[in-house]
Amino acid sequence: MKVTLSRTTDVSSPRLAFVNERITNGQDAAFGEFPYICSMQWVLIGTSSHICGSSIINNNWILTAAHCFTEIPNLGSIWAACGLTDLTITTTQQRHMIDERVIHPLYPGGVAPNDIAVGRLAASLVFNANVQPINLPTQGLAPTIGTAVLAGWGSTSTTAIPSMPNRLQRANKPVVTDQQCCDLMNSVIAGACNNLASSNVCAGGGPISACSGDSGGPLSQQVGGTWTHIGIVSWGVTPCGTTVAPSVYVQTSAFRNWIDSSIN
């Protein structure tokens, strides 16, 4: 079961929304290919529901989107299931409750800048081949214009009816300039560019983008030969994968100092 975080129900025309639902036209990830990604799961009355993606930054903390915490009712608990590629195959899983949530103080809620948070795990992860932290970029180091990789358990459908895979999906996506992103956004929804901030980064466009992947999940890119976390899935234009508009991410490098201070 997956929980939709967008509160908008009208799917007849393009709109801005959290992009927790889809990686369209992606492909199955290989087992162990993304050891730094975790499934965030809302547990209520014994039932677990995948709600967001997240990334391991050390053995006690995960990185995600702020709205992955703020849009969930204040009931039950939220857990991080790490070491998974298929949600139904849990032999390599390490699953811990998130017992502390730190949301960026300037995040106002909704589709907005500063959509970033960290969560502390109730018990430490044990690193192995399936569970590893991802490298974080230096503060202020902008992503390279080029190919990045998105991973998540998002819907593979481009229609209003989701098709939720248990298998982790991956897709290569081009990082685009701020101006390209702004122009493409405005071509779909007039004024959409007004929602972009300098602390965002855009990637994709067309059938593998507009609303790709799980909210909170990682966009990664090789930096100096090391896979590095460059963006957190935040929002985009829906219906997913049906417009030219890119997906919008929180630019990780804009918040490296905040991340470090929050987890220390």
Domain-embedded: residue 14:
no
Is residue 60 included in any domain, yes or no?
Answer: yes
Listed residue (72, 68, 98) closest to 235, CA to CA:
68
Is 18 inside a domain boundary? no
Active site residue 215: yes
Angle at 227 between CA 135 and CA 212, to 5 degrees: 100
In this predicted model, what pLDDT tens digit does every residue of 148-199 receive, in sequence order? 999 998 765 555 545 567 899 998 999 999 999 999 888 888 888 888 999 9
Q: Note the pLDDT of residue 84.
A: 96
Q: Which of 50, 115, 209, 234 is catalytic?
A: 115
Whole-angstrom distance, CA of residue 77 vs CA of residue 61: 16
Whether 67 is a known active-site residue: answer: yes
Closest CA to 212 of 189, 243, 254, 180: 243
pLDDT higher than threshold 80 for residue 114: yes
Burial class (CB in 10 A: 0-12, 13-18, 19+), 264: exposed
Structural domain count of the chain: 2
Exactly one of 54, 212, 215, 220 is catalytic; name it. Answer: 215
Asked whether residue 182 is domain-assigned, the answer is yes
Q: Which pTM value belongs to this model? A: 0.89
Print the domain residue range for 113. 37-132
User: What share of the chain in percent tops pLDDT 90?
Assistant: 64
